[in-house]
Chains A and B, each alone.
Chain A
């Protein structure tokens, strides 16, 4: 009998911790994402119209951006009339709104949540911090360009952009979807290795599968 004496989790370093996790193929997806082929032209046009008019967004309130997301639901701005609604689970939402600067710790969660969304999925970068780092451009702990890590369809500049700007950004996204130009999910699948390399360069404690479904 060669029973291994298990170290308590607190004493393990990160590599040992990863190895101690169960690697059940049922629990973790081994397949990498594949680009999905569009259906026929007219079917795709019809579906794109539906996708554009039913935008369920997952608000990822990383920075101050979350403050600007909330008034969208209220009587003053009322985005429901444009077919936009919040959906607090990545499984069901189709738009991912990154609300500001993303620290190294947060980008890991952003990547996981983005990969859990079902395609076609779209990303809106809210605020200057997602474009070039904004006022955090030389911070030791935040990323500068969001589209090095996940594909971004629309950027909304400003610090912070007003809810009106956010609505304008959503309208721009609708236009892109209707024209069939918002293919971020396929772009991510096609350039998967490049995105993974960028992500792993910045995320040091990579204790998750390479692709989270």
Chain B
């Protein structure tokens, strides 16, 4: 019994750390984008105030059962993704529910929330929601191809489908990272990550000035609060996954308070660096159209992904 309680406590701690880091990162990104535009930008804690405000709304409208469940599925998808990713290597506290073969489950969970949200947004009946859901699912299918090819390349390289196993194989110095041992797969996955993070030029789902807000157009009050919380958790979870797969993860070393502090700081630095790729590409490029985006992912990144597999196949 106490074993289960400790597991739940650990999971809540992981959730707390990743959610807060995701929110702070969101605030920093708004600030950085503001500075690129030559503006002062909102305060870093603005995402927190926004969430408190939306949760503190006095009225709300429900359009049906699936409308109610959409944000719940989305949040379940975000938390589920996080729960199967070991956030810190060697740590029993942050290992959560990772097991051998968890990489496949994580890839499924990345899809899960979006499918639930698609049903919820569909019931809201807003034309922009339907349009954005169509675009989102099309783009998701497209960027999943290079990402899956890259993951297959890793599976051949490390002969495992466990995230912990892949992180363990990368320990022992900078040159053991996948970034250096398998650069083609890394580049492929980072291009797929640009699509996943929904910044320009791949922000066709929440496209401002075109179909503003996108799927959650009709979601308000606490529904929107759930979606905003999920955005922080989901972004954090995806970045931690990419850090684990390609940047060597972050290990607590010998343990102890200093080890944990160093590991969390390493995690923050690596995920922040990864996210900045999306942000910098985002502020520099205008938006693709849907078909351009899909053609892009099925073009060069897919060829790179196949190349990454072939290199290790022939090796």
Contact = CB atoms under 8 A, between A and B. Distances in A.
B217 A89 contact: yes
Interface in A175-189: 185
22 contacts: A36-B58, A36-B59, A46-B52, A47-B52, A50-B52, A51-B56, A53-B53, A54-B50, A75-B39, A78-B34, A78-B41, A80-B30, A80-B41, A83-B42, A83-B43, A89-B212, A89-B218, A94-B57, A118-B58, A118-B60, A118-B61, A119-B57
B171 to A, nearest CB: 42
A71 B219 CA distance: 28
Contact of B46 (A54, A119, A213): A54
A91 interface: yes
Contacts, number: 79
Contacts of B3: none
A47 B61 contact: no
A163 interface: no
B40 interface: yes
A6 interface: no
B221 interface: yes
Given A78-B34, A81-B40, A83-B42, A91 B57 contact: no
Interface in A94-124: 94, 118-120
Interface in A1-56: 36, 46-47, 50-51, 53-54
Interface in B29-63: 30, 34, 37-43, 46, 49-50, 52-54, 56-61
A50 B49 contact: yes
A87 B40 CA distance: 20
A88 interface: yes
Contacts of B213: 87-89, 92
Contacts of B224: 92
Interface of B: 30, 34, 37-43, 46, 49-50, 52-54, 56-61, 212-213, 216-221, 224
B53 A50 contact: yes
A54 B54 CA distance: 9
B41 A81 contact: yes
A36 to B, nearest CB: 4
Interface string A59-83: 0000000000000001100101101
Given A80-B42, A92-B224, A51 B34 contact: no
A164 to B, nearest CB: 16
Contacts of B58: 36, 118-120, 185
Q: 7 closest A-B pairs (Cβ-Cβ)?
A: A75-B38, A47-B56, A88-B212, A50-B52, A54-B53, A91-B220, A36-B58
Contacts of A36: 58-59
A51 B61 contact: no
Contact of A50 (B56, B59, B61): B56
Contacts of B42: 80-81, 83, 85
Contacts of A85: 42
Contact of B53 (A51, A74, A89): A51
Nearest to A90: B220
Nearest to A213: B61
